[in-house]
Amino acid sequence: MEIEITDRKTNQVLDRDEIQFTVVHKGEATPPLEEVRKLLKAELNSKDELTIVDGIHSDFGWGVSKGSAKVYKDEDQIKRIEPQYRLNKNYKKPAEESQEGE
């Protein structure tokens, strides 16, 4: 699986970088959000708690997904701006993951 940054803009008002990316996953299902976040962190050299994936979108049968993400400059900003449901989706705790499967 490979990730390519297709666009990167700095939003000075919200103090974050806004990222557009493409993930190539030929022969595999659309990758989970956590895997995409790991790839983005490595590619952008960003901190885990400051990187958030908005969404990943695939077209059936192509093996390529597109998505968007944000990298904030500090933790206070991410907590102030991002909705709680998106934070929960990106930063699941191990206890929450095990409860979902029950």
15-38 confidence digits (pLDDT tens): 999 999 999 988 888 888 889 999
Count of structural domains within the chain:
1
Answer yes or no: pTM beyond 0.95.
Answer: no
> Would 87 be classed as within a structural domain?
yes
**Type of residue found at 79:** K
State which H helix or E strand residue 17 sits in: strand 16-24
Distance, in Å, from the CA atom of 50 to the CA atom of 70, rounded to the nearest integer, reads 8
> Would 98 be classed as within a structural domain?
no
Distance, in Å, from the CA atom of 54 to the CA atom of 89, rounded to the nearest integer, reads 9
37-66 confidence digits (pLDDT tens): 999 999 999 998 899 999 999 887 788 999
Q: What is the CATH number of the domain that holds 48?
A: 3.30.70.330
Cross-sheet strand order for the sheet of 2-11: 2-11, 16-24, 64-72, 51-58
